[in-house]
Amino acid sequence: MDQALNIAFFVCHSAWIAFVCTGWIWKRTRPWQLAAIALTAASWFVLGFRYGWGYCPLTEWHWQVRARLGFIDPPSYIQLLISELTGVELRQLAADVLAVVTLVLAAGLGVARTLGDPTPRRTLRVAESSDRRSK
């Protein structure tokens, strides 16, 4: 059971990270991406105030499962993920900086794309073009 949970946590946690990083690309997912960023930031900084900066409940639960499987894990999920995917061992500070910079960039892209979306203007132009043709 724990091995299945370990895999499920890898899949779900990695999917969450991938969505936070790329959800700004598609108009339909932008509000959800911004919500995911807000939840991530709240976890890191609000829950982090009590449990330690950068706290993530997914990491906490995953580490509990992995401890039962006999693994000794680094402090950061990013360290584990990069090590598992590439074999590169990041120091904790590098992983933390990478995580924060990525979150800030994803948030900036999400906000910029949401506020700067030109789609409504294009829709209006299409409607105006249709009105001109019918006259």
Q: Are 13 and 58 in contact (CB under 8 A)?
A: yes
Say if residue 126's pLDDT is above 70.
Answer: no
Provide the pLDDT for residue 133: 61
* Band of residue 12 on the pLDDT scale cut at 50, 70, 90: very high
Cβ 9 vs Cβ 17: under 8 Å: no
Please, which pLDDT band fits residue 4 given cuts at 50, 70 and 90? Answer: very high
Task: Give the model's pLDDT for residue 116.
Answer: 86
Return all residues near 23 (Cβ < 8 A) that are at least 6 apart: 29, 30, 32, 33, 36, 106, 110
Report the pLDDT value the prediction gives residue 102, as an integer from 0 to 100: 97
Is pLDDT above 90 for 128? Answer: no
Percentage of residues in the chain having pLDDT higher than 90: 85
Least confident of 23-37, 71-85, 116-130: 116-130
Q: What is the pLDDT of residue 117?
A: 74
Mean pLDDT of 66-80: 96
| Residue 66 near residue 6 (C-beta atoms within 8 A) | yes
Whether the predicted pLDDT of 95 surpasses 70: yes
Which amino acid is residue 25, in one-letter code?
Answer: I
